[in-house]
Amino acid sequence: MDLKTVARDKLNGESRKQIIGGSAAGLVVLLVVLLLVLTTCGGSSSGADAGDKEKKAKGPSEAVVTIAPKDGADEVATSGKLRVEAAKGKLTEVKVKDSKDNTVEGRFLDGRTAWKPATHLNAGTKYTVDAVAEDSEGRESAKHGTFTTFVPKDTFVGYFTPENGDTVGAGMPVSVNFNRPIANREAVEKAISVKADPGVDVQGHWFGDQRLDFRPKEYWKAGTKVTVDLNLSGVEGSNGVYGKQRKTVKFTVGRQQVSVVDAKKKTMTVTRNGEKLKTIPITSGSPANPTYNGKMVISEKFKVTRMNGDTVGFGGEYDIKDVPHAMRLSTSGTFIHGNYWMAKSQFGEVNGSHGCVGLFDARGGGMKGTPGAWFFRNSMVGDVVEVKNSQDETIKPDNGLNGWNMSWEKWTAPQ
């Protein structure tokens, strides 16, 4: 029960008896008490405070919002030009959106007296800016502005692998090859994000000035979903050359399959998600042309393809027009493929190739029961083939999608 109710009850109860009894003095005392109670519950005291606050809040805000670039500006640079500031106040809200209603993320600076975008802006895009600031008395000041970024004359693009929607093996890196040399590597790398679910640290590494690969420390886990955001539009890759891509790519890691080729034993053991599937007799590079050692990722698959020694530095030593079940392991021409021109008895006994890994197969690739056909059917782009105990060197990390041959420390070291 509140004080007003108590006062009313007193008036209607015992005190009323005094009034009926004709006590004028009692009536005066009661009225004074009632007045004090009602004033305390207040309304008049707190109302006066509210009135003071309202009086203070009247009048224009002292906060002044400024937006750079100026309203209506054209040909605005994509980096370093957008900034919102508040004088004699603090920013409470900043919204920046492009013409497609995409929000530009940013951060407050200097005690919320300034704001700037977290990244570059897209080229050839109109933006709207709405900002609100508040002065020390809580009075708001707002400002609205628009501007349009410039359209670059010279541009670059990145050609990426894997493609959107692909399902790949656990060794597949994200590889981006640029059509122009990149001088501002840090800016370009910052504009490409690679995120995994479940989460894992993913880092980029440059091979020269036109290729950037991303991978985690270890092979991807089976079932991982990877999202690649290419936010290159408006990024200055080199002097006067800007990116023009804004694309999101998503792919899934189907499984973790690693096939270990032992060149000395002349066998290959296929393991998937930690379970051994099969051991297959193979032939690898001859003593004169040994197979590279190292971890190699399948980057392409061909049911039948032509292999000509002229294309990889072997002159006219061979030209086989119908090599079955071929899967590329390196840019320089290393494959794992079916082989029908060697006797079946030689697989597991002789290393006789020009550097490829051969599996017994049938001409034309039509027979399903051969080792070559089985491995082709049970392999996908992104699976790993690891060669050991060969007499050759370890394959270079940039010869194919083979960055796994570089330690994590070297991969993540400043470049």
Distance between CA atoms of 55 and 47, rounded to whole angstroms? 12
- Choosing from 120, 205, 325, 356, the catalytic residue is 356
Backbone torsions φ then ψ of 289, nearest 5 degrees: -135, 65
Q: For residue 337, indicate whether it is catalytic.
A: yes
- Choosing from 120, 205, 325, 337, the catalytic residue is 337
Q: For residue 41, indicate whether it is catalytic.
A: no
The beta-strand segments (E) located in 180-292 are 192-197, 202-206, 211-216, 225-231, 236-238, 241-243, 246-255, 257-262, 267-272, 275-281
Residue 372 CA to its chain's centroid (Å):
37
Angle between helices 24-41 and 44-57 in degrees, nearest 10: 40
DSSP secondary structure letters along 265-322: TTEEEEEETTEEEEEEE-B-B-TTSPPPBEEEE--EEEEEEEEEGGGGT-TTS-EEEE
Residues constituting the chain = 415
Distance between CA atoms of 316 and 217, rounded to whole angstroms? 41
Sheet containing strand 241-243, edge to edge, reads 154-156, 241-243, 236-238
Match 């809580």 to its residue by tokens. Answer: 138
Q: Are strands 225-231 and 246-255 parallel, antiparallel or unpaired?
A: antiparallel
Q: Which residues are catalytic?
A: 337, 356
